[in-house]
């Protein structure tokens, strides 16, 4: 693969493709355009009663874009039985540059001064492509994801891409669609502009949950 720049990377996302590496220690990257794509329908995100109860108790302090690179590094660490990830140094540097240009964001969960969970992804038009998330405490990544969906709904986003579907994501309402259907939805979402910062960071948990359509 030729040397990537943040501009080339962002352009690739607008065409439905993204880079990966075989492991965090492998310097090489390759392009991916999956035959089957995972997405979260933003009007059908599932928050269980137990998770909603936990969110109302505010176990963690939630922030946005306060330590993007730290979140990426945490996502690249072997955690919860995960031996390795695809986040290598090249990806770390490229996405940090995207963040500095306003096209990548992170949601963070804090317990005191300790970062205990979070996620990051790429943002353009009304599309958010979730890249990775991590959790060092119970429900931390689920809570970060719930706050992300609330933010995207408030900001007028039309597509939340998860790249691949896992059992964990499916339990939260993610579904799998074909490559062709993904590209159709992507093209539609490119026609409008989302506002990632439209949600007040002081929004109380009750309002966060109210903004999620499906709570059961």
pLDDT tens track of the chain, all 216 residues? 557 899 999 999 999 999 988 776 777 788 999 999 999 999 889 899 999 999 999 999 999 999 999 999 999 887 655 445 778 889 999 999 999 999 999 999 999 999 999 999 999 999 999 999 999 999 999 999 999 999 999 999 999 999 999 998 998 889 999 999 999 999 999 999 999 999 998 999 999 999 885 444
What are φ and ψ of residue 170, in 5° steps? -60, -35
pTM attached to this predicted model: 0.93
Residue 136 neighbours by CB distance under 10 Å: 17
Is residue 40 within a helix (H) or strand (E), and if so which, with residue range?
strand 36-40
Residues paired with residue 175 on neighbouring β-strands, in sequence order: 39
Integer Cα distance of 50 and 42 in angstroms: 20
Taking the C-alpha atoms of residue 138 and residue 90, their distance in angstroms, rounded to an integer, is 30
Q: What are phi and psi of 125, to 5 degrees?
A: 50, -125
Candidates 161, 176, 184; CA nearest to 35 is 176
> Among 3.40.50.720, 3.30.70.20, 3.90.230.10, 3.40.630.70, what is the CATH number of 34-87+102-215?
3.40.630.70
Distance CA 100, CA 175 (A): 31
Tracing tokens 């979140």 back to the chain, one arrives at 71
Q: Residue holding tokens 């990426």?
A: 72
């Amino acid at each position: 693969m030729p040397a990537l720049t943040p501009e080339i990377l962002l352009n690739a996302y607008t065409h439905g493709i993204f880079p990966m590496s075989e492991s965090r220690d492998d310097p090489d990257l390759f392009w991916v355009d999956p035959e089957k794509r995972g997405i979260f329908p933003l009007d059908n995100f599932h928050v269980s009663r137990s998770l909603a109860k936990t969110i109302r108790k505010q176990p963690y302090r939630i922030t946005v874009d306060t330590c993007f690179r730290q979140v990426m590094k945490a996502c690249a660490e072997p955690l919860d039985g995960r031996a390795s990830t695809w986040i290598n140094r090249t990806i770390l540097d490229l996405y940090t540059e995207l963040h500095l240009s306003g096209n990548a964001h992170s949601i963070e969960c804090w317990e005191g001064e300790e970062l205990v969970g979070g996620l990051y992804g790429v943002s353009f038009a009304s599309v958010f492509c979730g890249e990775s998330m991590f959790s060092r405490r119970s429900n931390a990544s689920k809570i970060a994801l719930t706050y992300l969906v609330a933010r995207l709904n408030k900001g007028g986003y039309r597509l939340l891409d998860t790249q691949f579907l896992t059992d964990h994501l499916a339990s939260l309402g993610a579904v799998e669609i074909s490559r062709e259907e993904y590209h159709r939805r992507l093209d539609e979402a490119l026609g409008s502009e989302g506002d990632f910062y439209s949600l007040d960071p002081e929004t109380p948990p009750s309002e966060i949950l109210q903004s999620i359509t499906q709570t059961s």
